[in-house]
């Protein structure tokens, strides 16, 4: 696929849930094989973050991440879970209809081939084979996650300082992780609920595939 550039721009409204590129998780357009190596450029409210993805580390996860980024799925999302010294997590869409469409669009687990070192990125999940759209960046060396099956598929190569500036004062209260089972309000109202109750959350402005 042709890589797209990423200029910094104002926060954008995502495509409508019924017409957006990511409306249907079964669409072949969002189920393509990723390149063996590719980059992702996140423009965030604290600065630019560059991620290098290595498909061999976790091919199923890398494919899903590639397609979500390529479709614009992550644009505008709030970074709803930041635990300083642990992880920063996002992946819940701004629109409830899109969250509902992807909530159970699971991919199979990848074997863990890379440790959860600081700066690596992996998919969050609750139970085996339940990875969907939520990803996290390790803010520390979290080797304890390796045995739990969390499989990094890439790492931050520039902009880790921007990641570490993402607001973490809300802890687990702004939805928390999948295993806590407290993301219902976000699923029901999308970003509107987060903006009303947790206005200091940082966000992904755009996520783009880069060479």
Please, what is the average pLDDT of the chain? 89
Domain of 200: which CATH number?
2.40.100.10
Percent of the chain with pLDDT over 70: 88
Q: How confident is the model at residue 174 (pLDDT cuts 50, 70, 90)?
A: confident
CA distance 44 to 21: 21
pLDDT at 33: 98
Domain-embedded: residue 6: no
Task: Strands of 21-171 (E only): list them.
Answer: 37-44, 47-54, 81-83, 87-90, 120-123, 135-138, 154-158
Domain-embedded: residue 1: no
Cα torsion through 109, 2, 47, 88, rounded to 10: -10
Domain-embedded: residue 22: no
CA distance 73 to 172: 23
pLDDT at 4: 32
Please give the tally of structural domains in the chain.
1
Residue 160 has pLDDT above 70, yes or no: yes
Domain-embedded: residue 20: no
Residue pair 45/163 in contact by the 8 Å Cβ criterion: no
Q: What is the pLDDT of residues 197-211, one digit of tens each?
A: 999 999 999 999 998
Domain-embedded: residue 19: no
Q: Which domain holds residue 114?
A: 28-210
Residue carrying structure tokens 């085996």: 128
CA dihedral over 120, 2, 129, 201, signed as positive or negative:
positive
pLDDT at 181: 59
Domain-embedded: residue 10: no
Q: How far is CA 94 from the centre of its chain?
A: 13
3-state secondary structure of 209: strand
Q: Using the 8-state DSSP alphabet, how is residue 109 labeled?
A: P
Find, among 70, 65, 73, 62, the residue nearest to 29 by Cα: 70
Q: What is the pLDDT of residues 25-51, one digit of tens each?
A: 999 999 999 999 999 999 999 999 999
Residue 101 has pLDDT above 70, yes or no: yes
Domain-embedded: residue 174: yes
pLDDT at 177: 64
């Amino acid at each position: 696929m042709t890589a797209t550039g990423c200029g910094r721009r104002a926060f954008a409204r995502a495509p409508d849930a019924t017409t957006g590129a990511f409306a249907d998780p079964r669409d072949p357009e969002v189920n393509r094989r990723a390149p063996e190596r590719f980059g992702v450029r996140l423009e965030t409210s604290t600065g630019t973050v560059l991620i290098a993805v290595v498909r061999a580390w976790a091919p199923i996860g890398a494919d899903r991440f590639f397609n979500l980024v390529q479709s614009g799925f992550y644009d505008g999302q709030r970074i709803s879970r930041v635990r300083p010294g642990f992880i920063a997590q996002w992946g819940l869409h701004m629109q409830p209809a899109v969250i509902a469409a992807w909530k159970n669009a699971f991919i199979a687990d990848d074997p863990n081939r890379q440790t959860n070192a600081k700066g690596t990125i992996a998919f969050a999940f609750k139970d085996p084979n339940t990875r969907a759209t939520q990803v996290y960046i390790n803010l520390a060396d979290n080797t304890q996650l390796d045995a739990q099956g969390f499989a990094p598929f890439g790492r931050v190569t520039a902009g880790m300082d921007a990641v570490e500036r993402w607001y973490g004062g809300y802890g687990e209260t702004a939805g928390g992780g999948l295993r806590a089972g407290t993301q219902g309000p976000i699923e029901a109202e999308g970003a509107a609920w987060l903006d009303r109750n947790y206005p200091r959350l940082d966000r992904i402005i755009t996520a783009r595939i880069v060479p």
